[in-house]
Structure 1
Amino acid sequence: MLEMLSLLACLTCAEAAPLPPIGDGAPVDVELVLAVDISQSMDEEEFALQRAGYVEALRHPDFINAVRAGSRGRIALAYFEWAGVVRDDGVIAWQVIDNEDSANAFADKIAARPFRSFRGTSISGALGFGAGLLESAGFSAPRRVVDISGDGPNNTGLPVAAIRDAAVARGIVINGLPILISPSPSVSHLDRYYADCVTGGAGSFVLPIYAASEFSTAIRRKLIQEVSGLTDARAIRVEDPTPVDCLLGERLRHRYSDPYFPELDR
C-alpha cells in the first residue's frame, strides 16, 4: 500500500515537490498535514482570508493550550499549497510544535509566503502528497491527519475517492474545510461532495465555511479539534443531504473547458 500511495502522489503531481526531511522518531500526539488550496478559482481576497485564518489559529492561545494539553504535549506539523500540482516551493517542512514560540515560528513561515495561484484542482494529488508526507514523517504518533481546504471539486489527476480510500486504509484521517463563500452555480453541494468523496477515517469531519467572517473561527476550531482528537458535533455542518457524484469535477472540466495539462503552467 505504501508503494501505491507513493505512486499515486507522483502520478497526480506533475511537478511533485520533494518530501521534507523526516522526524527522528520523536513521540508526538498527532502528525498533522495542512493542505491549502491555491487554485485560480480562489481569488486574492479569499486566499488572504484563508491564509490569515491559519496564521491566526496557530498563534491563538486556545490552539497552543490544546497542543500542550495532549499526553505528550507536542505535535508534528507540515504545510503545503496545492492546485493542479504540488510545487517544491509550496511546502513547509515538518516541525514540532510544543509551545508558543514554535507555533509562532511556524505561523511566521506561512505568513511570509507570497500570494500566487495556478491552474487545476487536484484534490486527489493533494491527498496523495499529504499521505506521502505522513508515511515518511518518522515521528511516533497515535494519530495521522490530513487537513484539506478547497473551493471546488477534483478536476484533474486520479479519482479523488480512490486516493481517499487508499489513505484511510493506511490509518490516515482526512478532514475537510470546503469554502463556499462564492459557490459556483455548477457545484451546488461542495460540502456534501467533501463529506462523500474527500474526507474519511475514524472521527473525520467536514467544516464548511459559508461567509468570510467565519474563516478565522472555523480554522481555529478545526485545528483544535484535530490536535485534541475530540469530536465536536457543532463542527460537522453539512446542510444538504443530497448525494453527489464523486466525478463531478472531471465531468464539468470535460464539458466546459479544455483538458488541463500541467506543462502549460510551467
Structure 2
Amino acid sequence: MDKHEKHWQLVTFSAFRSLAAAALVVAASLSSAQAACRQALALGLDVSGSVDAEEYQLQLQGLAAALSSPDVTSSILSMPKAPVKLLVFEWSGQNYQRILVPWTEILNDQTLQNLSAELRQAMRRDAPPTTALGKAIQSGIRFLDQQSDCWKRTLDISGDGKNNTGPEPHRVNLPEQIGDIVINALIIGVDAASRMSHAELSTNELTAYFSNRVLSGPGAFSEVAIGFDDYERAMSRKLLRELEFISMSQLDQ
C-alpha cells in the first residue's frame, strides 16, 4: 500500500468518525426533544359513599369517552415532541387512594385508546364511605412530584361533596406546599328533585366550597357537571381548557 492509499484511508476513516459523531449528536438531540413533557395531568375521581354503583360507572365511562373524543385527542397529541402524561386515581377515605392508570406518556392515538379501554374495564372495590378531599389532594400532589420536569403540572379533582375527614383542603393546597402545581376541580352537582339525599348540597354551595377551599394556583378553575349523566360533557370541556396551547417558545429552551 503506497502513501496515497494510506492517506485516503485516513481521510475516509476520519470522515466516518465525524459522521458517526454527528449522528450521535442528532440522536441525542432528538432523544432530548422527545423526552420533553408538556404537561402532567393527574385525575382524581371521587368514589366516596355518596357515589353509588351506577354513578361510579358513569364517572369512569364519562372520563374514558372524554379522553377518546376527537377534540380532546387532537389537543393531547398536538405537540408530539412534547407529549402529555396522564395518571388516573380514585379516592374516598383517608387511607383509600387507588391508582387506576399509572403515569402514561401519550405518544399516539393508540396509547390514548388503550388508556380509555383500561378505564372502561375497571371494577369498583370496597372503599370507605367518608370523603377525605384534603388527603386526595395530598396524594395527587405526591403523584405530580414524580413529574417535576414537566412544563405544567395539574391536579384535577372530581367530587360531589365536602371534606368530612382528615386534613381540610385549604390546609394542604397552599403555594408553599404545592409549588407550581395547579389544582382544578370538576364539581358534580346533583339535581335535588331526583336525588333527595343530596338536597342539602346545592350546586351553588358546592361551587363556592370548591372555589374557596380546593382550587389553587395560577388560572385554577372549576367545571360543573349537572349530575353524573353530564360528567362526560363537563370533563371534555374541562380537559380542553386544561390542555390549552403552551407557547412554542418553550420548545426552544
**TM-score relative to the length of structure 1:** 0.71
More helix by share: 2
Instruction: Specify the code of the residue in structure 2 equivalent to 1:125.
Output: K
More strand by share: 2
Note if 1:194 corresponds to 2:210. Answer: yes
Q: What value does the CA root-mean-square deviation take over the aligned residues? A: 2.2
Taking the aligned partners of 1:217 and 1:85, their CA distance within structure 2 comes to 29
Classify the secondary structure of the residue corresponding to 1:111. helix
| CA drift at 1:73 | 4.5
Distance 1:88 1:163, change over 3 A: closer
From 186, 210, 223, the counterpart of 1:177? 186
Instruction: Specify the code of the residue in structure 2 equivalent to 1:121.
Output: T
Taking the aligned partners of 1:66 and 1:121, their CA distance within structure 2 comes to 32
Note if 1:122 corresponds to 2:132. Answer: yes
Taking the aligned partners of 2:179 and 2:66, their CA distance within structure 1 comes to 28
Distance 1:62 1:86, change over 3 A: farther
| CA drift at 1:222 | 1.0
Deviates more, 1:145-154 or 1:72-81: 72-81
Which stretches in structure 1 are left out of the alignment for 5+ residues? 1-24, 231-266
Residues 29 and 142, structure 1, Cα contact 8 Å, conserved in 2: yes
**TM-score relative to the length of structure 2:** 0.74
- Find the structure with the greater CA-based Rg: 2
Taking the aligned partners of 1:118 and 1:90, their CA distance within structure 2 comes to 16
Residues 35 and 80, structure 1, Cα contact 8 Å, conserved in 2: yes
Classify the secondary structure of the residue corresponding to 1:119. coil
Taking the aligned partners of 1:144 and 1:206, their CA distance within structure 2 comes to 16
Aligned to 1:254: none
Classify the secondary structure of the residue corresponding to 1:42. coil
For residues 75-98 of structure 1, the C-alpha deviation after alignment (integer angstroms, 9 at most, x for no partner) is 011111000135465442101012
Taking the aligned partners of 1:83 and 1:27, their CA distance within structure 2 comes to 33
Taking the aligned partners of 2:132 and 2:227, their CA distance within structure 1 comes to 24
For residues 27-76 of structure 1, the C-alpha deviation after alignment (integer angstroms, 9 at most, x for no partner) is 11100000000011111222221111100011112111101223744101
Aligned to 1:39: 48
Distance 1:162 1:71, change over 3 A: farther
From 58, 61, 67, the counterpart of 1:52? 61
Residues 79 and 93, structure 1, Cα contact 8 Å, conserved in 2: yes
Classify the secondary structure of the residue corresponding to 1:108. helix
Note if 1:153 corresponds to 2:162. Answer: yes
Taking the aligned partners of 2:134 and 2:46, their CA distance within structure 1 comes to 12
Aligned to 1:216: 232
Taking the aligned partners of 2:244 and 2:80, their CA distance within structure 1 comes to 10
Which stretches in structure 2 are left out of the alignment for 5+ residues? 1-33, 193-197, 247-253
Residues 168 and 200, structure 1, Cα contact 8 Å, conserved in 2: no
Taking the aligned partners of 2:186 and 2:87, their CA distance within structure 1 comes to 17
Instruction: Specify the code of the residue in structure 2 equivalent to 1:133.
Output: F
